[in-house]
Structure 1
Amino acid sequence: MQIKKGKLAIIAGDGDLVLSSIKSCKTQNINYFLIGIKEFYKDLTFPPDAYLSLNNIGNIFSILYKEKIKYIIFIGKVNKPSLLRLRPNLITIYYILLILLYYFRGDNALLSKIYNIFIRKGFKVLDVRKLLKKNIANDKNNNYKKFKKKITLDQINYYFNIAKRNGSLDKGQSVIVDKNQILLREDRKGTDNLILRYKLLNRSDNFSLLVKICKPNQNIYFDLPTIGPKTIKNIFLSGIKGIIVEKNNSLIANPEETFKLIKKYNLFYYAV
């Protein structure tokens, strides 16, 4: 990624990809400033240059201007808070009012509004994939041949398409499928909870799959679908037989470890 002039702000939530982003910056000699979201960023390996709680997140722009930030990436998980539980300072209240009409319309509407606020203030928001090229899902590790007695290519494409249709409703990136139908859909509690809900069904004798895709019209600067070692372990423990992801539009945390686990647990993997 070419950043010829200016400093990059990494606005970081939870997850292994934050560490990958920092290491990528160091490898490429990118001048970065790490802002950790206090309730979510917990990595002690790289203490943030600034910590912000959701209650004072409105202070972020004064920090960005002070540090002469030009570029921004958003990386890591930040759960959407209940407005009633926040105790925001005055500047944060101002920004809450700016996004209030979008807060309950769905994630994409809200994230696009937040994105536009940063753009209008003169910042350039970057696609995190430019920083995490080694973490982009591709089809090099597809192991379809090993499972062709269990599933057809037509079924794989069908499952991918029904996950896309579900995502078009802005309800979630993930579904669990089996026998040409959706068994469970991701809700606000996320993919880990979806996998746990499947485990409670006791359907481990079937060839059920997790399908995780980029929602149609999703703002790609936030929350690209991500899997990693934790996802694979949870899938195995739940009895799900594998995973379908969207190549080029999904990220894999710690790819080497992720694919070692897929092989170890004899799980199906296919990037469409």
Structure 2
Amino acid sequence: MAAKLGIVAGGGDLPFRLIEACRAAGRPFFVLALDGHADDGVCAGVPHARVRLGAAGQALDALRDAGVTEIVLAGRVRRPSLAELRPDWRATRLFAKLGMRALGDDGLLRAVTAELEREGFRIVGAQDVFAALLTPPGPVGGLTPDAEAERDIARGVEVARMLGALDVGQAVVVQQGIVLGVEAVEGTDALIERCGPLRRGGAGGVLVKIRKPTQDLRFDLPTVGPATVEAVARAGLAGVAVEAGATLMLDREAVAAVADRLGVFVVGLEIA
């Protein structure tokens, strides 16, 4: 039998998809929902516990008591201030190990993962639980980028690589070669909304989202879903380009259907 999986749930659809995958495979699982981040419905009808983000000791005890041996980190987690976090002694010990370094999301997640592994858990990626989540190469849906969009995609990949190398973000919006915005702490949805009013006249623009150069593939992979496509359409952009094989796509059939209905292309990029 597969090891019991602990789904550490933040916001969004990804935790729900992993719960569905575990149920379909008959795999035992336990949900650790992060208060203030996980959606309310994620605990409905499943074995679970709720903890606040700074309660590391309570979280570890809940996972051990549930018999969890493997953990997947799933869903959006807004980085809190230290006052909001109210760390317990286990979390305080972790922060003391990190020192006063300014860590980006990737660095912080790497440190948290290392601590979980020291506690005896094995960390796995969402794609290890549900391989069909990974975006395939090529178009998703019936539309493809035109020549101008292809140039914007190339520019977006170039900028996103530089952005990721600094551990800042994964996404950028480009129109007619002009960078309308880059992702930082606000996340992709807020980036798209912010860039809508900045659109120039003429052809649409592209959201490009790729993994960071030093990304640990077990966590925080770029993620898109039907809501991403809807946001892109509302902003007046022409399409979405993501890295094939390294981007999680939630409900691929729905993404294709929404994209075709709204006239937005979605494409998986093969990036060397």
Query: Do the two structures share a fold, i.e. TM-score over 0.5?
Result: yes
Q: CA deviation at 1:146?
A: 4.5
Helix, strand or coil at the partner of 2:30: strand
Helix, strand or coil at the partner of 1:96: helix
Query: What's 1:52 paired with?
Result: 51
Residue identity opposite 1:134 in structure 2 = A
Identity across the alignment (%):
28
Greater CA drift, 22-31 or 39-48:
39-48
1:199–1:190 distance in 2 versus 1, CA, 3 Å: same
Is the Cα–Cα contact under 8 Å of residues 33 and 42 in structure 2 kept in the other structure?
no
Q: Distance in 2 between matches of 1:143 and 1:204?
A: 26
Query: What's 1:182 paired with?
Result: 179
Alignment of 1:258-269 (within 5 A): 258-269=255-266
Once superposed, what is the RMSD of the aligned Cα atoms?
Answer: 2.2
Query: What's 1:114 paired with?
Result: 112
From 128, 131, 134, give the equivalent of 2:132: 134
Q: Distance in 2 between matches of 1:145 and 1:187?
A: 29
1:247–1:37 distance in 2 versus 1, CA, 3 Å: same
Helix, strand or coil at the partner of 1:263: helix
Helix, strand or coil at the partner of 1:160: helix
Residue identity opposite 1:219 in structure 2 = D
Helix, strand or coil at the partner of 1:240: coil
Q: CA deviation at 1:202?
A: 4.1
Q: CA deviation at 1:96?
A: 3.3
Is the Cα–Cα contact under 8 Å of residues 59 and 91 in structure 1 kept in the other structure?
no
1:156–1:44 distance in 2 versus 1, CA, 3 Å: closer
From 114, 123, 126, give the equivalent of 1:125: 123
Q: Distance in 2 between matches of 1:70 and 1:21?
A: 16
Query: What's 2:103 paired with?
Result: 105
1:209–1:151 distance in 2 versus 1, CA, 3 Å: closer
Greater CA drift, 139-148 or 221-230:
139-148
Helix, strand or coil at the partner of 1:215: coil
Helix, strand or coil at the partner of 1:134: helix
Aligned length: 267
Query: What's 1:205 paired with?
Result: 202
Q: CA deviation at 1:189?
A: 0.6
Alignment deviations for residues 88-144 of structure 1 (CA, whole Å, 9 cap, x no partner)? 333333333334445x22111111111111111221111210112222111253579
Q: CA deviation at 1:8?
A: 1.2
Residue identity opposite 1:68 in structure 2 = G
Alignment deviations for residues 226-247 of structure 1 (CA, whole Å, 9 cap, x no partner)? 1111111111111111011000
Alignment deviations for residues 139-190 of structure 1 (CA, whole Å, 9 cap, x no partner)? 25357974435444x6544432332222111110000112234221111111
Helix, strand or coil at the partner of 1:19: helix
1:52–1:216 distance in 2 versus 1, CA, 3 Å: same
From 250, 267, 271, give the equivalent of 1:270: 267
Is the Cα–Cα contact under 8 Å of residues 259 and 265 in structure 2 kept in the other structure?
yes
Is the Cα–Cα contact under 8 Å of residues 164 and 212 in structure 2 kept in the other structure?
yes
TM-score, normalized by length of structure 2?
A: 0.89
Query: What's 1:80 paired with?
Result: 79
Q: Distance in 1 between matches of 2:109 and 2:42?
A: 28
Q: Which runs of 5+ in 2 are unaligned?
A: none
Alignment deviations for residues 18-76 of structure 1 (CA, whole Å, 9 cap, x no partner)? 11100100111111111111111124264351111123233222222222321111111
